Amino acid sequence: MSWQRVVTWVIAVVAGAVYGTAGTVAHAYRLGVLPVGLIVAIVGCAAILLAVRALSSDRWAALACGVGMLGATVLFSGTGPGGSVIVPGGSLDALGPVNLGIVWTVAVVVLGLAAVTWPDISGSRRRADN
């Protein structure tokens, strides 16, 4: 294992943690009943996972980015020292049975798994060019 790969993984974890933190804080923002914060957070996290996977061509870097996102989400989902909660777990909101905190937490896991398990088509593309 080269030190370049380790540096890539560390940068991926940090980038994932930054996006996970931003998404965790912003996911609850709404315009009326439209969950704008959740939509922007999911699109942003999907974009950084796609970029890490495409630029590094490494599933492990995408996994590191997803772990950083999930770690930040779990860290900031707990009760703070003053009793504040960023991601409420049990209460329902104005959207009825949809809890945005649960949707956000599940979306981070699904996005991370999709980025890691997406098939690598670069080899088949090279064979088709021959």
pLDDT in tens, 16-53: 999 999 999 998 888 888 889 999 999 999 999 999 99
Tokens matching residue 94: 């104005």
Task: Give kind and range of the element (H or E) at residue 107.
Answer: helix 100-117
Q: Please report the pLDDT score of residue 1 as a whole number.
A: 72
| Average pLDDT score over residue span 84-113 | 77
Looking at residue 57, what is its pLDDT? 87
Q: What pLDDT shows up at residue 49?
A: 95
pTM, full prediction:
0.83
